[in-house]
Structure formats: structure tokens, C-alpha cells
């Protein structure tokens, strides 16, 4: 297979970037998208050029670091698929493929296709944890959690923090990410103790990072590689409203 690749090249955050076109031949349809980029970089290095910088780690759809904007879609054309799980057989021979980094003020470009997603980490550091002393492991079923609630909490916890929701949103909102991280604790007994403090701190940090507001287009859910539901945003809003009402009653 042969492809025309239009890739964003940017030396660093201070310089202006631009697209550069590469013609790549003899690509195996069984290559993953990242293997295709490895193949491209091997040719660039062989010709004395500087390879395209992109981020990756597990290459198993787990870590979330591989996110790229491919032909106008986060992670490419396949739903519920990360960039590293995408294969070249999903494209047609001779296709032009446009590859960009995430586009968001809160995700500044580091180099080429790599962005700084540490804003997500700061949201988690603000309150995405349980700090109360829960003691030793309780006896089985001593604090029952319904299967429905347990399953929903697990669904929220599958968020890998890749940033596709931000890249998909026209306002660069991080609501789906924050909602998933809040929900994974808010729905279990151990997380309810600090629930109101948690949602206040995480939403405040999310706003401070410069993410936009939710535009209710559901593009975040559509392009999330883990299929996380926007229902969690509604849960987060309820938690946030509840925390404000409680504060007003206390004052």
C-alpha cells in the first residue's frame, strides 16, 4: 500500500509549525498506525532527516499516550480504538492521511505530534483520590455494592486519560475526563466521604487549566476510545450542584 502523509511538524512550543508531506510506499496493511510511523521514520533517518516525534508506550490501548488527530478524528476513523490499535488496512491504497497533534490551549505542543497533557494530571492531583483512612480490607460483602453501581464505577474507571474528548470537542472541554474520574469514586462507598470536596477541587482545577465548557454535542463520547458515556457528565453536574447547596446551608 502507498500513502501520502501530511504530518504536522513543529520544532518546539515557541516556534511556528506547518504540515510537511511524505510519500510512503510498500506499507503492509497489517502494520499498526504507529508501526507505519516507525517505518516512515526509518526512511527519514536513512535520508539524513529528523524523524517525526510522536508519543507511545504500551501500544495495547491501555496507557492513552498515543493519541493523534487523524483525518479530522481523534485516534482515526475507527470507533472505540486508540491510535496504536488502528491498522493500515482501515485505509485505502493511495489515501492521503492528515496527522496532527491534539489542538487545545491546555495541551500545548511540545514537538511535532507530542503535546503536554500534564493538565490532566493536575486535575487528578487536585482531588482525584481517596485520602481518608479506610482501614484494612473489610470482610467480603460487609458493605454491599450493587452489581449495577459496581459496573458503572468500573466503566468510569476505564478512562485512560488520552485527551480524545478534549480534541473532539469544539470548545476543548475536559468535562468527560473529569466526570469519569469523579464518578469512579463518587459511586463507591469509600469515595462518598470526600465526594463534595473532590468535585469542587477537580472542577476548579479543570477551569484553571483553560479547558472550555461542555457544548453538549456528544462528540466526546463518540470519539472516546473506551466509549465512556456522557451520562457521567450529568452525574458530575449533580455532584457539583449538591456540593454548592450543602455549602450554602452550612453558611
Residue 134, pLDDT score = 65
Question: What are the φ and ψ backbone dihedral angles of 151, each rounded to 5 degrees?
Answer: -65, -40
- CA dist 4 and 25 (Å) reads 9
The three cell numbers of residue 215 are: 457544548
pLDDT tens profile 81-109: 999 999 999 999 999 999 999 999 999 99
Average pLDDT score over residue span 102-119 = 97
Q: Let me know: does 103 contact 166? Beta carbons within 8 Å.
A: no
- CA dist 114 and 133 (Å) reads 38
Q: Let me know: does 230 contact 217? Beta carbons within 8 Å.
A: no
Residue 108, pLDDT score = 96
Residue showing cell 526512511: 43
pLDDT tens profile 175-188: 999 999 999 999 98
- CA dist 4 and 27 (Å) reads 11
Question: Who wins on pLDDT, 244 or 228?
Answer: 228
Q: Let me know: does 60 contact 81? Beta carbons within 8 Å.
A: no
Residue 251, pLDDT score = 61
The three cell numbers of residue 56 are: 507511545
Mean pLDDT of the chain: 93
Question: Hey, do 3-110 and 118-250 end up sharing a CATH topology, with the first three levels equal?
Answer: no
Give me the helices (H) in 99-208, please: 118-127, 147-157, 164-168, 175-186, 189-192, 195-208
Residue 46, pLDDT score = 97
Give the angle 121-127-132 at the CA atoms, nearest 5°. 130
Residue showing cell 484553571: 208
Which of 3.40.720.10, 3.10.20.30, 3.20.10.10, 3.30.830.10 is the CATH number of 3-110? 3.10.20.30
pTM of the model: 0.92
**Lowest-confidence pick of 71-85, 147-161, 218-232, 233-247:** 233-247
Task: Name the residue ranges covered by the structural domains of the chain.
Answer: 3-110, 118-250
The architecture (CATH level 2) of 118-250 comes to Orthogonal Bundle (1.10)
Closest C-alpha among 187, 180, 182 to residue 161: 180
Amino acid at each position: 500500500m502507498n500513502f501520502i502523509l501530511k504530518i504536522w511538524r513543529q520544532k518546539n512550543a515557541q516556534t511556528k509549525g506547518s504540515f510537511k508531506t511524505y510519500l510512503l510506499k510498500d506499507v503492509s496493511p497489517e502494520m499498526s498506525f504507529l508501526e507505519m510511523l516507525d517505518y516512515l521514520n526509518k526512511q527519514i533517518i536513512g535520508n539524513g532527516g529528523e524523524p517525526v516525534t510522536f508519543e507511545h508506550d504500551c501500544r495495547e490501548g491501555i496507557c492513552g499516550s498515543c493519541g493523534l488527530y487523524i483525518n479530522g478524528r481523534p485516534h482515526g476513523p475507527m470507533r472505540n480504538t486508540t491510535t496504536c490499535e488502528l491498522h493500515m488496512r482501515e485505509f485505502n491504497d493511495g489515501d492521503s492521511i492528515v496527522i496532527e497533534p491534539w489542538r487545545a490551549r491546555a495541551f500545548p505542543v511540545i514537538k511535532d505530534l507530542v503535546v503536554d497533557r500534564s493538565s490532566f494530571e493536575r486535575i487528578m492531583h487536585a482531588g482525584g483520590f481517596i485520602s481518608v483512612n479506610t482501614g484494612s480490607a473489610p470482610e467480603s460483602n460487609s458493605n454491599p455494592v450493587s452489581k449495577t453501581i459496581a459496573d458503572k464505577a468500573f466503566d468510569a474507571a476505564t478512562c485512560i486519560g488520552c485527551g480524545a474528548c478534549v480534541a473532539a470537542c469544539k470548545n476543548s472541554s475536559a468535562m468527560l475526563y473529569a466526570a469519569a474520574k469523579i464518578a469512579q469514586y463518587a459511586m463507591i462507598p469509600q469515595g462518598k466521604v470526600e465526594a463534595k470536596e473532590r468535585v469542587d477541587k477537580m472542577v476548579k482545577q479543570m477551569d484553571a487549566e483553560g479547558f472550555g465548557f461542555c457544548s453538549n454535542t456528544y462528540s466526546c463520547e463518540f470519539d472516546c476510545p473506551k466509549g465512556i458515556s456522557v451520562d457521567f457528565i450529568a452525574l458530575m453536574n449533580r455532584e457539583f450542584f449538591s456540593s454548592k447547596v450543602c455549602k450554602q446551608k452550612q453558611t
